[in-house]
């Protein structure tokens, strides 16, 4: 059997829609030179498509989330992409946001319409993932609570404050999960903002989280919206500068679009 046929048989038998040179080396027993020659032939004849160096996909396989997670060793779909997947925003991002500990920047992949946007965080922040999809089409995505926290941690990757305020108001949240993930992300300003919103919006069953937020609340005053000048009413309880009017926050939270 020639090397091209060996590769095709292997990916068919294992139902691999995405695969790497390392996977092929391990399973085929072919030499690197034979594999490179076979892969060159298969890609040039458009039987398979190169994702990036050493990583490939079947020609008709275009699941962006599976491909995105295959491109990083850890992490998963997050920020605006996860917000949309969880039904917490009507806005559809034109990028796939992937949180991980090693890779940053954007990459375009031939045949895929959306750009892949990699956001690098410390390894201890890589918590709160759930497995999505099925079989060989599984991928990791932040759950609802972790998505909310990540979006407040880095709102520039989530469509801005208007979107994440609406998402927070809409989401059904676990106080214990919020607490666990806030500890991991370790951004006290985010914890204070979420605690303030939980009270303002009368989020149910938030007592456990509010107790934690009160314990870690420091003396530094942080702006509610980090993207706006730190000017406004000082809120002593949560040590926040309300640089957005409360009526405006409530209006945003309850708006449909």
Q: Which domains does the chain have, with CATH numbers?
A: 3-61 (1.10.10.10), 65-254 (no CATH)
Task: Indicate the burial class of 60 (C-beta count within 10 angstroms; 0-12, 13-18, 19 or more).
Answer: exposed
In the predicted structure, residue 208 carries a pLDDT above the cut 90: yes
Instruction: Give 158's Cβ-side CA count (13 Å radius).
Output: 29
| pTM score above 0.85 | yes
In the predicted structure, residue 136 carries a pLDDT above the cut 90: no
Give the pLDDT mean for 13-18.
95
Residue-level pLDDT at 148: 98
In the predicted structure, residue 256 carries a pLDDT above the cut 70: no
* Integer CA distances (angstroms), 4 to 23, 31, 38, 39, 59, in order: 15, 13, 5, 7, 15
115's enclosing H/E stretch is strand 115-120
Supply angle C-alpha 112, 81, 201, rounded to 5. Answer: 165
In the predicted structure, residue 13 carries a pLDDT above the cut 80: yes
In the predicted structure, residue 221 carries a pLDDT above the cut 90: yes
Say if CB 239 and CB 219 are below 8 A apart. Answer: yes
Q: What percent of the chain has pLDDT over 90?
A: 91
CA distance 116 to 98: 7
Supply angle C-alpha 115, 119, 122, rounded to 5. Answer: 160
- Alpha helices by DSSP H, listed for 98-225, are 144-153, 161-170, 175-185, 188-200, 207-216
Say if CB 75 and CB 142 are below 8 A apart. Answer: no
Altogether, the residues listed in the chain come to a count of 257
CA distance 77 to 147: 9
CA distance 61 to 223: 45
Supply angle C-alpha 81, 85, 87, rounded to 5. Answer: 120
């Amino acid at each position: 059997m020639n090397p091209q046929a060996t590769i095709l048989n292997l990916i068919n038998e294992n139902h691999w829609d995405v695969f790497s040179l390392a996977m092929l080396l391990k399973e085929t027993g072919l030499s690197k030179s034979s594999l490179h020659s076979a892969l060159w032939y298969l890609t040039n004849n458009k039987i398979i498509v190169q994702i990036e160096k050493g990583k490939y996909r079947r020609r008709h396989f275009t699941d962006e989330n599976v491909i995105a997670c295959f491109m990083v060793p850890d992490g998963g779909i997050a920020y605006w992409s996860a917000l949309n997947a969880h039904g917490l925003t009507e806005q559809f991002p034109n990028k796939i946001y992937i949180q991980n500990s090693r890779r940053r920047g954007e990459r375009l992949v031939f045949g895929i319409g959306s750009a892949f946007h990699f956001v690098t965080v410390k390894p201890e922040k890589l918590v709160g993932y759930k497995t999505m999809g099925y079989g060989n089409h599984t991928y990791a995505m932040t759950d609802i609570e972790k998505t909310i926290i990540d979006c407040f941690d880095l709102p520039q990757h989530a469509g801005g404050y208007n979107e994440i305020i609406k998402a927070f108001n809409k989401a059904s949240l676990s106080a214990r999960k919020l607490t666990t993930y806030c500890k991991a992300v370790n951004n006290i300003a985010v914890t204070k903002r979420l605690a303030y919103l939980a009270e303002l919006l009368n989020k149910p069953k938030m007592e456990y989280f509010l107790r934690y937020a009160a314990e870690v609340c420091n003396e530094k005053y942080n702006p509610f919206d980090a993207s706006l000048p730190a000017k406004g009413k000082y809120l002593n309880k949560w040590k926040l500068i309300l640089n957005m009017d409360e009526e405006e926050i409530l209006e945003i939270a309850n708006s449909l679009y």
